[in-house]
Amino acid sequence: MKRIFLFLATNLAILLVLGVVLSILMPILGLDSASNSGLLFMCAVFGMGGSFISLLMSKMVAKRSVGAKVIESPRTQQESWLVATVRRQAEMAGIGMPEVAIYDSPEINAFATGASKNNALIAVSSGLLRNMSDDEAEAVLGHEVSHVANGDMVTLTLIQGVLNTFVYFFARLVANALNRGNNNYFVYFMTVTVFQAIFGILASVIVMSFSRYREYRADSGGASLAGRQKMIAALQRLNSNHQSQLEGQLTAFGINGKRAWTELFMSHPPIEKRIAALQKYHS
């Protein structure tokens, strides 16, 4: 319930901010919402603006949604090891020291988020710390540090923003064409909703394709930072446990066991493919 409320409140705040921005910029730029150029501008503001505001707020939202507690001063040997390992890997990857946090969850999972390479957060679940060896946990941390070093969060946000813009734009173009001469706003709204869903599904295939690609890159980075065998062992450990249920950016190390055409909508490649890729390119 807390996550749902936070999600709704955050998105409502973003919509209000972008609405104010539009009300100021549209008259200044001389754009009319009835024209295609005005419509495209509006869609770009909501599509790109929403994505980047979400990125800027990602650390705060992530911490609150899972109850992650940032390690300010390590109190245990385990916390000291976590911070020291992330610091060493961050130096090897050439990025600023991320915040390191732990959140309470029985699942084996970890995620990285943040607006830039030097302003990131890496969080691990208590389940990961209980069920993984130090070598396996080191590989997971290397995977997340690689996400940060590769700029995956920013790149994914840019791709999502561009696709959102065109999903909104083309849905409204189609709705305008189908409802020409019809002043029934409800029919127009429903048409927009239907085509936005259709185009959104097609856009998600592109986003998920990039997401799967970035997972292979992060696995490779984790192998370089921690060692190939440690990375493979970590993936094998994940494969033997229940799959994580976190969504969006919070599934940075999660896996999905579905196959066939549903793989198009998976954010992570099947785990055996990830292991095979490590064996092939790090042999």
| Per-residue confidence (pLDDT) for residue 245, from 0 to 100 | 42
Contact predicate 100/89, CB 8 Å: no
Position 6 scores a pLDDT of 61
Least confident span in 8-12, 176-180, 253-257 = 253-257
The pTM (predicted TM-score) of the whole model is 0.84
Q: Give residue-wise pLDDT tens across range 176-217.
A: 899 887 778 888 899 999 999 999 999 999 999 999 999 999
Mean pLDDT of 237-253: 56
**Integer Rg of the chain from CA:** 21
Q: Does 144 participate in catalysis according to the annotation?
A: yes
> According to the model, what pLDDT value does residue 258 have?
47
Q: Which of 99, 144, 215, 247 is catalytic?
A: 144
Burial class (CB in 10 A: 0-12, 13-18, 19+), 263: middle
C-alpha–C-alpha distance, residues 121 and 130, integer Å: 21
Cα four-point dihedral sign 119, 125, 128, 134: positive
Residue position matching structure tokens 């042999």: 283
